[in-house]
Structure 1
Amino acid sequence: MVKYLGLHETLDVHELLTFKNICLTISSTMGALAQDEELKTILANDVTAGQTHIAQLQTFITNREAE
């Protein structure tokens, strides 16, 4: 991977991070309010996947030593 992202690429990753954080907040909030067990499971899985995706996106911005 390239050592540094271009400005437009950094902004795109930041936009994706913002979107994923909003999705994570919604899924976690709705999971606490959901009555249906199957829906709670789906939302819990979405929270777990969202956390993984956010961590991966953060590496693009913070890990500039990888090549």
Structure 2
Amino acid sequence: MNYALHEVLEVHEMAAFKTTCLTKSKTMKALVTDQLLKDIMQQDIDVSTRQLQEYASILSNAKQ
């Protein structure tokens, strides 16, 4: 699919932000002692990972 340059740049920006959030969640999860909070953080990690895979798919299709 053909995407406009600004669309590709926006996906790049979202991927960069999501990568930062994922890194923070993974790092902070190791410091948390409350199990409920750890579970919430793990859910965030799982969702963020899936979203980054989707962004990667969009970006790989945009280059074709």
Same fold (TM over 0.5): yes
Aligned residue identity for 1:41 = D
Task: Compute the displacement of 1:34 (Å).
Answer: 0.4
Distance 1:51 1:24 in 2: 7
Distance 1:40 1:17 in 2: 23
**2:41 maps to which residue?**
43
**1:14 maps to which residue?**
12
- Identity percentage of aligned residues: 37
Task: Compute the displacement of 1:5 (Å).
Answer: 1.2
How many matched pairs?
63
Aligned residue identity for 2:40 = I
Q: What is the TM-score when the length of structure 1 is the normalising length?
A: 0.87
Q: What are structure 2's unaligned runs of at least 5 residues?
A: none
CA RMSD of aligned residues (A): 1.4
Q: What are structure 1's unaligned runs of at least 5 residues?
A: none
